[in-house]
Chains A and B, each alone.
Chain A
Amino acid sequence: MSSIKLKNISNYICQNINLEVIDRELLVLLGANGAGKSTLLNIIAGLIDYKGTVFFGSKPVDKLTVNKRRIGYLFQDLYLFPHLDVASNIAYALRIKSKMTEEIKLRVKELLRMLKIEHLSYRYPKELSGGEKQRVALARALALSPEVLLLDEPLSSLDVQSSKYLRTELKQLQRKLGITTIYVTHNLTEAEEMADRIAIIEKGNIEQIGKAEEIFFSPKNKKVFEFIGAPNILNCDDCHMLGRGIVEVNCGGLSVIVYDKGRRIKKIALLPRDIYVSEIKPPGHTNVNRFKGTITDINIISEIVRLRIKVGKNNLLVELPYHIFEGMNLQIGDEVFLILKLRKIKAL
């Protein structure tokens, strides 16, 4: 396996990009639609023209055409060959490379087992579900043991449950194979769950690179800030240990329970998407991290909606998917109930 290094990469979208993906790392390229994520992936694959240098390990690969770069590329719409069954799709590249029939059979069997799709071997792509297609496409991309793996929003067409399940499996598989991977997405949750590191891309520029926590809680500039949604940072007036790593902090009249080792907490931070919103009082007797607030602002940004909610003396920013917001019929001035996700509250 090898690292990927981009030096002064430019084209009609990308502007002088420098980026290094460490050997065996999974780097998530995160950005809005049209930010240049897929373009950058296509540059690495050698599918489009560019200026600058791409290194795989220490070797520059600019002069190599896409079919000589030894990459595994999972396209957003997968493009399984419709005229080949699952086994033949996976074996496609192996057959073209004139491998021995026995060798091909063994490799296909190994990949079918690895991706848990042995039972689909003789099915055609039109007979597969979305998740099954993803697995087959991944097996096909891995067939020739590529040096690097490029994944272009591979789970975007799946439902939430399947996407979540496949994310976990994909991450485990990447760790197991130790293959250097770039994963493109616009989904913050997906990025946080998958990434060893995240690179935020905006209008063809890499704005920030770092671990998920660094990116989400310390956005470097306004563009990153706006894209990921500014974290809620609350000043704590006092705090006291409740025992066994649980601390109660008082933030402007709100009593919030936080997991911490018991040091003096001055601030707590919580991402807007880690707060649940409900029109009705959530069931159960506990009041831990549950508050009532009033909506003061509603901002719809394509697939997500950001609500500004006044809770006591605090103004919290809350983010929810548009389809959920649509079903709730919320207006400015409405009273709502909030639940802060305990495990996502970060003591600063």
Chain B
Amino acid sequence: MGWNRVTDKALNPIISLIYPIPALGWLPLLMLWLGIGEILPITIIFICSFFPILYNTATGIKTVDKHYIQVAKSLGVSDGKILTTVVIPLALPNIFTGLKLESGMAWRVIIAAEMVAIPTGIGALMMKVESLMRIDIIIVCLIVLSLMCFLFERVFIFLEVKLTGRWR
């Protein structure tokens, strides 16, 4: 997608239809298909993150100036090599934008899923202690959630700076 016009035209309508469905909207269906276990939160995180990251990556690839591709071609480089050595590196800033946004979003979605359907994890714990009026534990859970979102975003910022900081 973003690179090959045929693939882009074939997949774009499907992605555009699936992309707007909120990750939690899949929950009832996934519970029936997968049952309640380890695989369920992993699938939710995957669905929540996959489409926005794919969308940002494809956009990043599409927005790479075509002249860079022409330059690489004039230097005798094949299309496949141009994708890996020019297009993807130049699309990295966009790819990282997607990763940074979705790292936080994945945490928020999984906590929400745990609150309503999955009996383990921070979200489920918060629901349990709510009935026991343990505000201290709820606040600790919120702080942990906040820290995890922050930490994951920082990891991606670190990687982005490491990979693109010198030339951007």
Instruction: Tell whether, in the assembled complex, residue A82 and residue B167 are in contact, meaning their CB atoms are under 8 Å apart.
Output: yes
Which residues on B sit within 8 Å (CB–CB) of A279?
Answer: none
A45 at the interface (CB under 8 A from B): yes
Q: With the chains together, A166 CA to B18 CA distance in Å?
A: 55
A124 at the interface (CB under 8 A from B): yes
Q: With the chains together, A81 CA to B89 CA distance in Å?
A: 10
A93 at the interface (CB under 8 A from B): yes
Q: With the chains together, A81 CA to B85 CA distance in Å?
A: 10
Return the contact of B90 from the options A65, A73, A82 (Cβ within 8 A). Answer: A82
Question: Which among A67, A68, A140, A143 has the greatest number of chain B C-beta atoms within 10 A?
Answer: A67
Instruction: Tell whether, in the assembled complex, residue B85 and residue A96 are in contact, meaning their CB atoms are under 8 Å apart.
Output: yes
A144 at the interface (CB under 8 A from B): yes
A285 at the interface (CB under 8 A from B): no
Which residues on A sit within 8 Å (CB–CB) of B86?
Answer: 81
Question: Which among B65, B67, B75 has the greatest number of chain A C-beta atoms within 10 A?
Answer: B75
Which residues on A sit within 8 Å (CB–CB) of B73?
Answer: 47, 65-67
Instruction: Tell whether, in the assembled complex, residue B75 and residue A93 are in contact, meaning their CB atoms are under 8 Å apart.
Output: yes
Instruction: Tell whether, in the assembled complex, residue A75 and residue B85 are in contact, meaning their CB atoms are under 8 Å apart.
Output: no
Provide the B73-96 mask, 1 if CB < 8 A to any CB of A, else 0: 111111001000110011010000
Across the interface, name the chain A residue whose C-beta is closest to B68: A79
Instruction: Tell whether, in the assembled complex, residue B65 and residue A124 are in contact, meaning their CB atoms are under 8 Å apart.
Output: no
Question: Which among A71, A75, A82 has the greatest number of chain B C-beta atoms within 10 A?
Answer: A82
Q: Please tell me the number of chain B residues within 8 Å of chain A, measured between CB atoms.
A: 22
Instruction: Tell whether, in the assembled complex, residue B76 and residue A93 are in contact, meaning their CB atoms are under 8 Å apart.
Output: yes
Q: Please tell me the number of chain A residues within 8 Å of chain B, measured between CB atoms.
A: 28
Instruction: Tell whether, in the assembled complex, residue B167 and residue A71 are in contact, meaning their CB atoms are under 8 Å apart.
Output: no
Across the interface, name the chain A residue whose C-beta is closest to B92: A83
Instruction: Tell whether, in the assembled complex, residue A67 and residue B85 are in contact, meaning their CB atoms are under 8 Å apart.
Output: no
Question: Which among A66, A70, A77, A84 has the greatest number of chain B C-beta atoms within 10 A?
Answer: A66
Which residues on B sit within 8 Å (CB–CB) of A220?
Answer: none
Which residues on B sit within 8 Å (CB–CB) of A65?
Answer: 73
In the complex, chain B residues 14-56 whose Cβ is within 8 Å of any chain A Cβ: none
Q: With the chains together, A148 CA to B100 CA distance in Å?
A: 46
Instruction: Tell whether, in the assembled complex, residue B85 and residue A79 are in contact, meaning their CB atoms are under 8 Å apart.
Output: no
Instruction: Tell whether, in the assembled complex, residue B76 and residue A70 are in contact, meaning their CB atoms are under 8 Å apart.
Output: yes
Provide the A78-115 mask, 1 if CB < 8 A to any CB of B, else 0: 01011110000000110011000000000000000000
In the complex, chain B residues 102-135 whose Cβ is within 8 Å of any chain A Cβ: none
Which residues on A sit within 8 Å (CB–CB) of B70?
Answer: 47, 66, 73, 75, 79
Which residues on B sit within 8 Å (CB–CB) of A143?
Answer: 75
Instruction: Tell whether, in the assembled complex, residue A124 and residue B167 are in contact, meaning their CB atoms are under 8 Å apart.
Output: yes
Given A75-B71, A81-B68: A67 and B76 interface contact (C-beta under 8 Å): yes
Which residues on B sit within 8 Å (CB–CB) of A272?
Answer: none
Instruction: Tell whether, in the assembled complex, residue B75 and residue A83 are in contact, meaning their CB atoms are under 8 Å apart.
Output: no
Instruction: Tell whether, in the assembled complex, residue A96 and residue B77 are in contact, meaning their CB atoms are under 8 Å apart.
Output: yes
Instruction: Tell whether, in the assembled complex, residue B77 and residue A126 are in contact, meaning their CB atoms are under 8 Å apart.
Output: no
A144 to chain B, nearest CB (A): 6
B162 at the interface (CB under 8 A from A): no
A and B contact pairs by CB, cutoff 8 A, 5 listed: A66-B73, A81-B90, A83-B164, A93-B77, A140-B75
Interface pairs A-B: 8 shortest CB-CB:
A93-B75, A73-B74, A66-B73, A83-B89, A79-B71, A79-B67, A67-B76, A124-B167
A residues with a Cβ closer than 8 A to B are: 45, 47, 65-68, 70-73, 75, 77, 79, 81-84, 92-93, 96-97, 124-126, 140-141, 143-144
- A82-B90, A144-B76 given; 8 more Cβ-contact pairs under 8 Å: A65-B73, A67-B75, A67-B76, A68-B76, A72-B74, A83-B89, A83-B92, A96-B77
